[in-house]
Chain A
């Protein structure tokens, strides 16, 4: 302890704490005094507790000494001293040794202590017992559980609950007593101070229920019986106990969905419970279940639930409000139309002083809104957003951003709102950049908005103080500006930046400017840009000068690829680029004499890139609905929460791990195939399908297929897993026979079998075909051929004399359909594109199976491998018809493919009318005839 801290305590007032060593010495002296002064000891322990609470701690030897001297105070029979002694024991038990020695004194108190200290003594047992001694407390705890005194019984139940992880066997012995405690009505003893009268009795029921649940959690029948007993009449008098029972119900119905119907009655009663704690928990249970299993919840019950939620939102208690609005928000992600009736309540929450509530209300409203009221709503949000802190603003902006994908037609209102917020609202860089990102999103996916957005951004950069935001905007201007009707406008704005700003921004501006030189519809611009760049090449900063010089050089060059370097036409697949570069660096065979071969990396055109991004976003909207399950830590909540441990699922920060894996998978296939001699002559891999399972996942041999399309060839890859324990498979091959061999346009070239498939091993077998026309649709009947070899369990080698046994194994057939020749793609204006395409084919389907619209949509999207546009990938829940819009490009020719599929669900099944338009006549008919 330094002299400085020592002095600090000397000078300060009486409520400041003396330093650690002084307290330690005082405690050691006073506790060992005889006789003990109860008053002084309590004061010292109070100081000790303050010291520990402030985060100080003692070395183990000193803590043990303290613990030892404190346990001496057990000799003194004074309740008010004893109570703080228990507190000190609890705090010190974590840092001192030999805590067991206090056990006998504590147990004595449990038996003979006064009503006041008995519960404290019981609860202190949690800290002094361990695996080997827990059994010794069995009788004491059992007696305490059946006590008529509520505090004693609760203390014993909590201690038992705390001790469960180390002594479940002991605790199980009094599960009967615990069960009785649920039913029994206990009261707190009337204390001397009678002015305190308990208003919420019977909390023991809650603790008993919690304990019994832990003991019987795997016994479904016992839990059912428990619920039966407790839901009868007024058995559970305590609101917490009813909440706990509802949680048990929640657990059960998620384990066995069929049980839901049995609790219908209970739900109806408890939704109307007089305690909002219970009705909120019930509503939560029903809605989480309804999100997972919408078919099992009757519309009546659902409507009642929504009504209860509305009532809760009107309550005075902010807990009920927040709870309810969170539930509604979660519902709105999956089926916004069902909770739209809550809109008036949500709107009244907007004016609450609790910004958390208001923000939740806004994000919910944005989800439930439709095209008619959206502009009105945005007006209200504008008022709101200027008044709250940055975190809430960002949450709202993120919600608006998703909205722009949902209502592309409303882009004008949304852009205006964003621009207004950007210009008129105070905020830090993070907020500003979230607004700019949202605008960039809209520009990318709603091309009509481009000019308005770009012009407003030009105004914005005139006085923006954040480098990273400015650079982002300049990049956007450079990318989108040249293709607008009046590019010279932007040139002026960008050049202003070069004159006025720092070197970071100047360099970004130079790159943006040089892109304008390639503008097609204004050739005069090139000369002006060149003269501007010439001026910049005298800049004081190296980077700016370098960039200007290289741009000039590229612009002056005759080579065609020079232009590509200025304004690139494609993007590299960054994930595979990264992994390739890492392998390049780590292998380093000839100290980097061979240059890195960039041509291996997949390239995406602008449209493909957008398609990928849009797909990720769509997945995100869908995924975000189920990661709120059971309220895990990264729940969807306004971003007040952004400290270290939270992952922001709400915001788009780039593809997550799962998506990376999918992207990488495709380049992995390309690598694998191009690495095999046999496939060299086939040329470049054009398209790979998704993985199709051909067996049950529990089968002895699990087979999954991937279809690869080359220019003139087809390769079927079968990934085979051997799940047998001590049998190896030799010479594994797949025999594919076409469904109708007569008019097959495919010629089988060769099969690459797997030589040996060890137990639990996975390997791939390839079958290659040559195709005579561009696109071939075909079904294949597949059989697995192999020789089984029994393995010697010791050596894991086949027995010498085992000849093996030839066998066959039938697997599902595989279809090569039109979707395998299509890559999903994005187009800004679907309707216009659709109308322009020359070839049209129409087909009508009638699906007899009992499929929901959503299942049909999912299947269509999968089969055509097209990208669903205009937010049509979600089936409406309130209507039986839907129109799905799909767009893609032929993988072979790069021609456009657009599909409009109208569907109606009736009692007989689902009727489809598919209208397909393509640039290329060959694909058109194939697609519509192969939809399902």
Chain B
């Protein structure tokens, strides 16, 4: 009855309820019944569209929706949603949401969260949610700690250093070793 699995999904939707980001959780290694949303894409889409329809007028709230506890907040043109289990502590869902929303603001620091930023920095969003919730277990709720665990994309590629001082022979040797490597890989 008491379980660590208490978050059902983290979603970022556009105004019409279309997905920008979606992650539904289910306990791994458990044969799941039909109950959970995680198993059915169709049900997930229904859930998202229905949610967008019902909350169209609201800026942000904590409420019951479709048998789950839902905390959401509207940013420029997207809405960030944390779906908690119906029996979860209301404050817990609230705290998890604040953690994720706070970390989003810290990481996507280009003047607010909107659709374009979420899409462009999708890797950051995925990492961030992964650091906040693991398979529905609350992993971390402090925005700063979450943000600190997310790596930025590499800015430059380390170049293959071809030291020309060693002369042509060196270059030939390098080329040969590369060629052998490829041949060994079978191509």
User: Which residues in A have their C-beta under 8 angstroms from that of B45?
Assistant: 55
**In the complex, A166 has a CB within 8 A of chain B:** yes
Distance of A244 Cα from B66 Cα, bound (Å): 25
15 contacts between A and B (CB under 8 A): A34-B181, A38-B157, A50-B122, A53-B19, A80-B152, A87-B123, A87-B126, A196-B144, A243-B89, A251-B2, A280-B89, A317-B94, A389-B54, A640-B65, A646-B66
**Known: A207-B137, A633-B35. Contact between A49 and B142, CB under 8 A?**
no
User: Which residues in A have their C-beta under 8 angstroms from that of B66?
Assistant: 641, 643, 645-646
Distance of A126 Cα from B46 Cα, bound (Å): 29
A163 touches B29 (CB 8 A): yes
Please encode chain A, from 85 to 128, with 1 for each CB lying within 8 Å of some chain B CB and 0 for all others. 00100100000000000000000000000001001100100110
Please encode chain B, from 36 to 57, with 1 for each CB lying within 8 Å of some chain A CB and 0 for all others. 0000010011110010001000
A126 touches B135 (CB 8 A): yes
Distance of A280 Cα from B65 Cα, bound (Å): 21
**In the complex, A132 has a CB within 8 A of chain B:** no
- B187 CB, min distance to chain A CBs, angstroms: 9
**Known: A45-B123, A199-B144. Contact between A322 and B62, CB under 8 A?**
yes
**In the complex, A675 has a CB within 8 A of chain B:** no
Distance of A123 Cα from B136 Cα, bound (Å): 13
Distance of A87 Cα from B44 Cα, bound (Å): 21
User: Which residues in B have their C-beta under 8 angstroms from that of A759?
Assistant: none
**In the complex, A635 has a CB within 8 A of chain B:** yes
A645 touches B67 (CB 8 A): yes
- A251 CB, min distance to chain B CBs, angstroms: 5
User: Which residues in A have their C-beta under 8 angstroms from that of B148?
Assistant: 188, 191, 193, 196
**In the complex, A638 has a CB within 8 A of chain B:** yes
**In the complex, A261 has a CB within 8 A of chain B:** no
- A190 CB, min distance to chain B CBs, angstroms: 9
Max chain A Cβ within 10 angstroms of own Cβ: one of B23, B47, B130: B130
A119 touches B149 (CB 8 A): yes
CB nearest neighbor in A for B120: A15
User: Which residues in B have their C-beta under 8 angstroms from that of A355?
Assistant: 63
Q: Which residues of A377-426 are within 8 A (CB) of B? A: 389, 391
Distance of A182 Cα from B149 Cα, bound (Å): 22
Please encode chain A, from 885 to 922, with 1 for each CB lying within 8 Å of some chain B CB and 0 for all others. 00000000000000000000000000000000000000
B89 touches A323 (CB 8 A): yes
Q: Which residues of B149-166 are within 8 A (CB) of A? A: 149-158, 160
Interface size on B, residues (CB 8 A): 73
User: Which residues in A have their C-beta under 8 angstroms from that of B168?
Assistant: none
Distance of A485 Cα from B45 Cα, bound (Å): 56
User: Which residues in A have their C-beta under 8 angstroms from that of B138?
Assistant: 203, 206, 240
Please tell me which one of the listed residues A45, A198, A319, A643 contacts residue B90 in the complex, with CB atoms under 8 A apart. A319
Q: Which residues of A56-110 are within 8 A (CB) of B? A: 78-81, 83-84, 87, 90
**In the complex, B93 has a CB within 8 A of chain A:** yes
CB nearest neighbor in B for A279: B91
User: Which residues in B have their C-beta under 8 angstroms from that of A206?
Assistant: 4, 138
Max chain A Cβ within 10 angstroms of own Cβ: one of B30, B64, B66, B155: B64
A356 touches B64 (CB 8 A): yes
**In the complex, A634 has a CB within 8 A of chain B:** yes
**Known: A633-B86, A643-B47. Contact between A213 and B91, CB under 8 A?**
no
B91 touches A46 (CB 8 A): no
Q: Which residues of A631-657 are within 8 A (CB) of B? A: 631-635, 637-638, 640-641, 643-646
User: Which residues in B have their C-beta under 8 angstroms from that of A322?
Assistant: 62-63, 90
**In the complex, B171 has a CB within 8 A of chain A:** no
User: Which residues in B have their C-beta under 8 angstroms from that of A79?
Assistant: 151
**In the complex, A35 has a CB within 8 A of chain B:** yes
B61 touches A318 (CB 8 A): yes
**Known: A35-B160, A119-B149, A123-B134. Contact between A280 and B91, CB under 8 A?**
yes
User: Which residues in B have their C-beta under 8 angstroms from that of A574?
Assistant: none
User: Which residues in B have their C-beta under 8 angstroms from that of A641?
Assistant: 64-67
User: Which residues in B have their C-beta under 8 angstroms from that of A240?
Assistant: 92, 138, 141
**Known: A35-B160, A119-B149, A323-B90. Contact between A78 and B127, CB under 8 A?**
no
Q: Which residues of B103-149 are within 8 A (CB) of A? A: 106, 115-116, 119-120, 122-123, 126-127, 130, 134-135, 137-142, 144-145, 147-149
CB nearest neighbor in B for A163: B29
Please encode chain A, from 250 to 286, with 1 for each CB lying within 8 Å of some chain B CB and 0 for all others. 1100000000000000000000000111001100100
Known: A319-B62, A355-B63, A635-B67. 11 other contacts (CB 8 A): A34-B181, A53-B23, A116-B149, A158-B134, A244-B2, A247-B2, A280-B91, A281-B89, A284-B89, A354-B61, A356-B62
**In the complex, A37 has a CB within 8 A of chain B:** yes
**Known: A39-B153, A318-B61. Contact between A198 and B145, CB under 8 A?**
yes
User: Which residues in A have their C-beta under 8 angstroms from that of B152?
Assistant: 80
A50 touches B119 (CB 8 A): yes
**Known: A15-B120, A240-B138. Contact between A84 and B86, CB under 8 A?**
no
B142 touches A198 (CB 8 A): yes
Distance of A158 Cα from B30 Cα, bound (Å): 15
**Known: A196-B145, A640-B63, A646-B66. Contact between A39 and B155, CB under 8 A?**
yes
Distance of A276 Cα from B63 Cα, bound (Å): 18
Please tell me which one of the listed residues B23, B139, B153, B181 contacts residue A154 in the complex, with CB atoms under 8 A apart. B139
B28 touches A162 (CB 8 A): yes
CB nearest neighbor in B for A57: B41
User: Which residues in A have their C-beta under 8 angstroms from that of B95?
Assistant: 277, 319
3 A-B pairs with the lowest CB-CB distances in the bound complex, closest first: A319-B94, A631-B87, A196-B144
A53 touches B22 (CB 8 A): yes
Distance of A45 Cα from B22 Cα, bound (Å): 16
User: Which residues in A have their C-beta under 8 angstroms from that of B74?
Assistant: none
Distance of A355 Cα from B134 Cα, bound (Å): 31
A277 touches B153 (CB 8 A): no
User: Which residues in B have their C-beta under 8 angstroms from that of A193?
Assistant: 148
CB nearest neighbor in A for B160: A35
**In the complex, A165 has a CB within 8 A of chain B:** yes
B126 touches A84 (CB 8 A): yes
- A519 CB, min distance to chain B CBs, angstroms: 48
- B108 CB, min distance to chain A CBs, angstroms: 13
Distance of A155 Cα from B130 Cα, bound (Å): 11
User: Which residues in A have their C-beta under 8 angstroms from that of B157?
Assistant: 37-40
CB nearest neighbor in B for A166: B29
**In the complex, A43 has a CB within 8 A of chain B:** yes
User: Which residues in A have their C-beta under 8 angstroms from that of B44?
Assistant: 55
User: Which residues in A have their C-beta under 8 angstroms from that of B65?
Assistant: 640-641
**In the complex, A21 has a CB within 8 A of chain B:** no
User: Which residues in B have their C-beta under 8 angstroms from that of A158?
Assistant: 4, 134-135, 137, 139
**Known: A46-B123, A206-B138, A354-B62. Contact between A319 and B154, CB under 8 A?**
no
Distance of A821 Cα from B28 Cα, bound (Å): 59
User: Which residues in A have their C-beta under 8 angstroms from that of B75?
Assistant: none
Max chain B Cβ within 10 angstroms of own Cβ: one of A199, A211, A643: A643
Max chain B Cβ within 10 angstroms of own Cβ: one of A196, A210, A319, A635: A319
User: Which residues in B have their C-beta under 8 angstroms from that of A87?
Assistant: 123, 126-127, 130
Distance of A630 Cα from B153 Cα, bound (Å): 44
User: Which residues in A have their C-beta under 8 angstroms from that of B153?
Assistant: 39, 42-43, 46, 80
Please tell me which one of the listed residues A207, A275, A356 contacts residue B63 in the complex, with CB atoms under 8 A apart. A356
Distance of A34 Cα from B144 Cα, bound (Å): 36
CB nearest neighbor in B for A320: B91
User: Which residues in B have their C-beta under 8 angstroms from that of A280?
Assistant: 89-91
B1 touches A251 (CB 8 A): yes
Distance of A638 Cα from B44 Cα, bound (Å): 22
**In the complex, A161 has a CB within 8 A of chain B:** yes
User: Which residues in A have their C-beta under 8 angstroms from that of B19?
Assistant: 53-55
Distance of A633 Cα from B35 Cα, bound (Å): 10
CB nearest neighbor in A for B28: A162
Q: Which residues of A154-211 are within 8 A (CB) of B? A: 154-155, 158, 161-166, 188, 191, 193, 195-201, 203, 206-207, 210-211
Distance of A633 Cα from B67 Cα, bound (Å): 5
Please tell me which one of the listed residues A46, A80, A199 contacts residue B151 in the complex, with CB atoms under 8 A apart. A80
Please tell me which one of the listed residues A166, A356, A631 contacts residue B86 in the complex, with CB atoms under 8 A apart. A631
